[in-house]
Structures are given as C-alpha cells and as structure tokens.
Amino acid sequence: MQFEKVLSQVASFLEGRGFRVGVVGALGLHAYGLTRATADLDLVVERKAQPALLGLLDSLGYERLNVSDGYSNHLHALPSLGRLDLIYVDGSTADTLFAEARQVQLFPGLDAWVPRSEHLAAMKVPAMKNDPARTLQEMADIQFLLGLENVDEGAIRAQLERHGLIERFHEIKQAIARARP
C-alpha cells in the first residue's frame, strides 16, 4: 500500500474542508517509535466529516466493507491504494483528542497529526474487546505505549477497566515487570 499517497490525499481533502484527521494504528505507533508491519491505514476523523469522506472514498473506487456511526472500513481493488479503517469521534472527545495531538513527519514532506499515546491505547481497547483474535497484538501495542516516558498509566488503566478488561492491564504490567532486568 502506498501509505504516503493515500494519507496525503485523504488528509488534504479533509483539512481543505476544515475537518480534523489523525493517524492511529500501526502508523500512529510508528510516530512513537514502534515499527511493525501493517497492511492498512488507520485514521481518526471528526464524525461530521463522515458523509463527505464516504463520498470521496466512493469516488476513488473504494468498496465500503462496513459503515456505522463510529467506524468504517474501505478496500480498494488496487493493492497500492489498499485498505482504510476509519474511527469517527465527535464532541468533547474530538476536541480533547485533537487539542492534545502532535504533528509528526511520517514521510518526507508529509506531516500528520498523531494522538497522544494514551489516546492510541484507548482506541485499542474496544478493538481488543470486539475482536478477541486481536487481543495479543493490541496488548503488545498497549504494553509498548505504557513503556513510553511520561505516559499517563492511570488513563490507560481506566480505559481497560471501563471496558471490563482490567485483568488485561494486570497481565501487561506483569509482562513489563518480567522484561525489566
């Protein structure tokens, strides 16, 4: 997938219309120093942008795999344009997320907004809860985020607890303790 091309096109479209967009998922983690293989581009977008964004993606030839108020997934027949997974946020969530995001150069000449590490972790919790097959990868990502300097561990713990996954927090903390020399 040509991440740079797709990100540039989608972000330019959204920002040109006054909508906020951030990079999450594997590329968001990459901005914090964790590089891992990925086959899709994950973005967080203001919910009010959804109708316009769906129209853009339709016009570019993306197939709608799933659309709901909070999420949409899109796949292009051309592997170079790949898969897009979108998370839609609104109200105070959007204001907090984007106010605390930082701009990072993900590709030469292409800066993107990336949410705080705690917000990236918070997005992984429902993914883990809704698709248990993703649990190990999501826990590994959360473990990495918990290891970052100045991370708000309490905020991440609260998200796991809110979703009934507090035992996962304890598992991650035990793994971190075992990994320390």
Q: What is the pLDDT of residue 130?
A: 87
Cα separation, 33 vs 84, in Å, equals 22
Query: pLDDT-derived band of residue 155, with 50, 70 and 90 as boundaries?
Result: very high
104 and 154 in a single domain? The answer is: no
Confidence check: pLDDT of 161 > 90: yes
The segment with the largest mean pLDDT, out of 48-62, 122-136, 165-179, is: 48-62
Q: Where are the beta strands (DSSP E) in the chain?
A: 21-24, 40-46, 62-67, 71-76, 83-89, 102-107, 110-114
97 and 124 in a single domain? The answer is: no
Confidence check: pLDDT of 23 > 90: yes
The dihedral through the CA atoms of 88, 46, 158, 33 has a sign that is: positive
Cα separation, 95 vs 49, in Å, equals 14
Length of the chain: 181
Q: What is the pLDDT of residue 127?
A: 86
Cα separation, 46 vs 20, in Å, equals 6
Domain residues for 162?
A: 118-179
Q: What is the pLDDT of residue 68?
A: 95
95 and 110 in a single domain? The answer is: yes
140 and 174 in a single domain? The answer is: yes
The two structure tokens encoding residue 146: 């918990």
Query: pLDDT-derived band of residue 37, with 50, 70 and 90 as boundaries?
Result: confident
C-alpha 110 chain-centroid distance: 18
**The whole model's pTM is what?**
0.90
42 and 86 in a single domain? The answer is: yes
Mean pLDDT of 57-67: 97
Question: 115, 141, 159 — which closes off a domain?
Answer: 115
Domains contained in the chain, number: 2
Across the chain, what does the average pLDDT equal?
A: 93
110 and 133 in a single domain? The answer is: no
Q: How many CB atoms lie within 10 A of CB 67?
A: 14
The two structure tokens encoding residue 162: 């809110």
107 and 131 in a single domain? The answer is: no
Q: What is the pLDDT of residue 48?
A: 96
101 and 151 in a single domain? The answer is: no
Query: pLDDT-derived band of residue 72, with 50, 70 and 90 as boundaries?
Result: very high
Q: What is the pLDDT of residue 81?
A: 95
CB 7 within 8 A of CB 106: yes
Q: What is the pLDDT of residue 129?
A: 87
Mean pLDDT of 19-41: 93
159 and 171 in a single domain? The answer is: yes
Confidence check: pLDDT of 174 > 80: yes
110 and 138 in a single domain? The answer is: no
SS3 113: strand
Task: Return the CATH number at 10.
Answer: 3.30.460.40
User: In the sheet where 71-76 sits, what is the strand order?
Assistant: 21-24, 40-46, 83-89, 71-76, 62-67
Cα separation, 75 vs 178, in Å, equals 40
